[in-house]
Structure 1
């Protein structure tokens, strides 16, 4: 499978070409000269497309502008997963509030790489008890959850936000309903908010994702600030919840709510995810370009791939541990609490009875003990007469 060869768009060519489309004519002429022999489509294996293959344009860029392109080969998944490596995350261990006054739940992110917000989306660092009008839930990671661990005793209708560095933004989950599984566990069903990828022009809460004042249409988020300025945009698979005009440009797209929406099933008692399907599509946003190699793709949202991060249902061993934690431990804890309480009361009562019925012996104080020169040691007086014991 991974060695199967298929034909795909030349992402480095189209991406860098789209990025340079607004530069002056000399830059564009130089780009045309460098890519004269480069084709718009390439034949690569599945493994190469996902994890890296050598490309002439990427090699040149990494050699001459290493501060911009710092990788020698290009792979779609390789670039996405790079951002998820070597990150430093601090968590909130108790309920608190963020700088906006919103409630922060336990086990949520406090800072990500030292900051509670995303500078890519113009988050401004502020001092304690200070705020900035540029800071909003849109560009903050404080209060989001990085993995599948949530607070115990989760309340119904609690809204959750998940953050993945590769997606360069948080994903909003709304409570949908609750049910009981076949194993008897109570679960909450969550689904992504229908507006979480709405255009900032139509949904002000997403305004921070507009790059240089330009917002993408409904259903897309621009990731260019996180990926070298290359016009990468994410959406839901098959342009689900996106503007219908994009469906007409690509053949074979059939958006389906059950197949392409993102969902999660969470046990509220201990706050663990029992199953989840996080689905994201990666697209290349081609600008209106006059470059010959890019012109035929102008103003197109070109799908590159869509991925699904899945949390599988728990194994039998995990279910056993869940039963123990949810059902056995609370009963055991209550029984032990009462037993220890009864034992403690019994010991105190026993001590009181012993003192009452068997008081300690009282020692009489010697009235002469305080006199000077008095000694409590008995002195045996010597006889006045001495018997002569000498042998004559």
Structure 2
């Protein structure tokens, strides 16, 4: 073989190797883009997010107003509204992102936990899109997505502590990795958000002009600012149990019983409001906050005992109730006692949305885990724990914690 021809062949081979190497590097460094779909309850949400944490486009259709008018969430109504809205919501999110299905790297969809009829609509639509596009599907655990949303906005290393408090949940968990969680505290009955909503309804707060456009929880928070949090004692028996589990049904019953008694004493009927409404709101808010903080205090003690968190750890708080500024201030006090940093996503990302689903999809895509091998056979699960349950182990330890003192001014 002529030397020049040999040199050409070698150079050509080197060029091919170099070109393929650069192509591989470009592929690895290319920003991934994921569409997230959320229909676990009464919000139809979709969003497009990339690996840099940029929210490229999102859309949300809330059913809250309709369900409030009917006195609570009706699964059949919620399902019908999801069917009516899902195509438009997903299309709008893609349009706002300036993307098509061909631009995506995967589709993430909530499959657990939630209302069965609602989960089915989101999953069914995701399957249609996957069949049409050939894209990978990433099933998402709704509560794990809530727990990791803060990582979209801030640098938070694993492991960290998570408190999820909303109208449907009260959970304390340690996020050990993208797909690995320890459940250390759970709701045993009504959630804090549901407790606030039910008591607000019992108080007839919607009859007050300043509360007409507020949720029950927001109305109680506003009125509590003018009240005395020590006026009424709503004690939760759960506070004396050495666990991190939550129970708000007793607090709710005590508050509702007191309201009825005051209505009778004041001769109130119809939609009138009792004269001590501000004090009652402040006392209820304090009782709920105290229990949450007490559970959190024990969670920090348990994590320290078991070596589950690093020094100068992080607490992420999410869920609708996390928007309550009084509760946040008290949680901050507990964090300071434990040399921890408090991180709360903005209110719009604390409630259900497509962004958190897309971001959880990005997190799983990065590590190459949790991607469905057979999308069309995926199913939903209405009940699903966030992770390994260690609540009984924690209870058996009988951890004693110091008396909790909170600055209580609303």
The verdict on a shared fold, with TM-score over 0.5 as the criterion, is no
Higher Cα Rg, which structure: 1
Using CA pairs below 8 Å that are at least 6 residues apart, which structure has the higher relative contact order?
2
